[in-house]
Amino acid sequence: LVARMQGFGTTVFAEMTALAIRTGAINLGQGFPDTDGPAKLLETAAEAIMGGANQYPPGPGLPELREAVAAQRADRYGLTYDPDGEVLVTVGATEAIAAVILALVETGEEVVVFEPYYDSYAAIIALAGGVRRPVTLRPDGGRFTFDAGELRAAVTPRTRVLLLNSPHNPTGTVFTREELEIIADVCREHDLIAVTDEVYEYLTYDGPAAHVPLATLPGMRERTVAISSAGKTFSVTGWKVGWITAPPRFVRAVQTVKQFLTFTASAPYQRAVAYALREEREWAEDLRVSLRAKRDRLSDGLTAAGLTTFRPQGTYFVQADVRPLGFGDGREFVTALHERAGIVAIPTQVFYDSDAGDPYVRFAFCKRDEVIDEAVERLRRL
Ligand code: PMP
Ligand code: GLN
């Protein structure tokens, strides 16, 4: 393994899901729902396969999907993108993140990222030969946020990109307009490219419009590469259809890399996702409402079990501080949770450079109510 990938072993998600499968534990670790997306969406993919959509689609993505993505950004956020040149379809948000960072970050350039950060960010920044500059999110009034001074201090003359994930995995924070204004200020002032990971854009619990894309702020559209995907919105995390929307110069750069990573994304799923973006908005809204109830169900259960719970504003994860139960850190807790209660969760410290994440554990609540209830019941064994 090359030196720049030393230290990146198996992802914690794969590790924890394998553990759950091996031992039959309840898997509140890796974030994937245990129910399927809308039936008509699944049928559309099956029909696309049977109907012959089985050869390479165009490199930038099926025109039909690029149009659906552009229409979604316009209708939902008032952001207009040309489907031909400002939208690029990728193999999930994961490939989008990889292609964007590899296309835009030179060796030695810095990427500002909020910690805890999604695991692939660190690996891809390292692969690109870049340097991550973490800014820690800390609890403040029941949610995780950053200190503006620390954000400003993280920027240096070598900073090229600010990578923002909102709604934020794993803390569940949905960045407010005020927070985004501070971030936008920093980007404009230092001429940074903003890369926004918006895969949880529909999963916000304080109202359907709570997610504000950074690109909607003044002067930001021209410097923002926005990433999203279908996995969370339509409960098809295994389909791996994602996309970026950005000005043409960025899309051209990213496509140059993307064409040699995968060339193109899977044809039948692209067609199905185009259908869903157009026709399944109500289903996505129903999912949001149902997940809000699940958020409360699990958050209340964790609180009742004695953990300090940070009820999230978005995503399908809830973070909890394990110290009130007498555990030293999240890893110790996760081991006990598995051994005594048969539940798998994620020790959030793996998403930090600093030790600020040591006391936290992340639980996924995108599960059937009976699974959540069983988990809550078992938490009493701790
Ligand atoms: N970004 C974040 C913040 C995520 O939580 C995930 C995990 N689903 C991804 C990106 C990857 O998305 P995809 O499955 O579309 O590759
Ligand atoms: N995004 C999912 C999570 O945070 C997992 C994705 C993965 O397994 N890489 O749980």
Q: Which tens digits make up the pLDDT trace of 158-177?
A: 999 999 999 999 999 999 99
Residue 169 CB less than 6 A away from ligand 1: yes
Percent residues over pLDDT 70 in the chain: 99
Q: What is this model's ipTM? A: 0.97
- Would the pLDDT of 259 be above 80? yes
Q: Which of 37-46, 77-86, 106-115, 201-210 has the lowest mean pLDDT?
A: 201-210
Nearest-CA residue for ligand 2 atom 4 is 31
CB of 231 within 6 A of ligand 1: the answer is yes
Q: Establish whether residue 116 lines the binding site of ligand 1, counting it when its CB lies within 6 angstroms of any ligand atom.
A: no
For the residues 341-367, what does the mean pLDDT come to?
97
Q: Where are the domains of the chain?
A: 3-37+282-381, 40-279
Protein residue with least CA distance to atom 2, ligand 2? 31
Show the tokens assigned to 370: 């009976």
32 touches ligand 1 (CB under 6 Å): no
pLDDT tens readout for residues 296-350? 999 999 999 999 999 999 999 999 999 999 999 999 999 999 999 999 999 999 9
Beta carbons of 100 and 263 less than 8 angstroms apart: no
pLDDT band at 230 (very low <50, low <70, confident <90, very high): very high
How far apart are alpha carbons 350 and 162 in whole angstroms?
Answer: 21
pLDDT band at 232 (very low <50, low <70, confident <90, very high): very high
User: Atom 8 of ligand 2 has which residue's CA nearest to it?
Assistant: 13
Residue type, 76: R
Q: What is the mean pLDDT of residues 221-227?
A: 99
**Best mutation site among 10, 32, 315 for ligand 2 pocket (most ligand atoms within 8 Å of CB):** 32
State residue 206's pLDDT score: 87
> What is the CATH T-level fold of the domain 40-279, as seen in this structure?
Aspartate Aminotransferase; domain 2 (3.40.640)
pLDDT-derived band at 207, boundaries 50, 70, 90: confident
Which pTM does this prediction carry? 0.97
What are the backbone angles phi and psi of residue 226, rounded to the nearest 5°? -100, 140
Q: Where are the alpha helices (DSSP H) in 166-208?
A: 177-189
H helices of 128-176, in order, are: 148-154
pLDDT of amino acid 341: 96
Q: What is the mean predicted confidence (pLDDT) over 124-135? A: 98
Instruction: Kindly state the tokens that stand for 153.
Output: 């201090």
The superfamily in CATH containing domain 3-37+282-381 is Aspartate Aminotransferase, domain 1 (3.90.1150.10)
Ligand 1 centroid to 8 CA: how many Å?
Answer: 18
Q: Is 343 exposed, middle or buried (0-12, 13-18, 19+ CB in 10 A)?
A: buried
Any idea which of 10-14, 233-237, 248-252 has the lowest mean pLDDT? Answer: 10-14
* Confidence check: pLDDT of 208 > 80: no
Nearest ligand to the C-alpha atom of residue 201: 1
pLDDT score for 382: 87
Own/partner pairs for 250-254, CB < 8 Å, 24+ apart?
250/100, 250/103, 250/104, 250/193, 250/225, 251/60, 251/85, 251/86, 251/87, 251/88, 253/103, 253/104, 254/88, 254/96, 254/99, 254/100, 254/103, 254/104, 254/225
Residue 209 has pLDDT above 80, yes or no: no
Q: Which residues line ligand 2 (CB under 6 A)?
A: 11, 13, 30-31, 169
Ligand 2: centre distance to CA 29 (Å): 9
3-state SS, residue 226: strand
Report residue 245's pLDDT band, with 50, 70 and 90 as the boundaries.
very high
245 C-alpha vs ligand 1 centroid, how far in Å?
A: 16
Return the pLDDT at 169. Answer: 98
Q: Count Cβ atoms below 10 Å from residue 17 Cβ, excluding itself.
A: 16
Query: Whats the size of the chain, residue-wise?
Result: 382
Q: Are strands 159-165 and 346-347 parallel, antiparallel or unpaired?
A: unpaired
Q: pLDDT band at residue 74, thresholds of 50, 70 and 90?
A: very high
Alpha-carbon torsion (24, 26, 27, 29), positive or negative: negative
What is the distance in A from the centroid of ligand 2 to the CA of 94?
10
Q: What local confidence, expressed as pLDDT, does residue 257 receive?
A: 98
Judge whether residue 131 has pLDDT over 80.
yes
Indicate if ligand 1 lies below 6 Å from the C-beta of 198: no
Tens of pLDDT, residues 94-108: 999 999 999 999 999
Q: What is the mean pLDDT of the chain?
A: 97
In short, whether 30's Cβ falls inside 6 Å of ligand 1 is: no
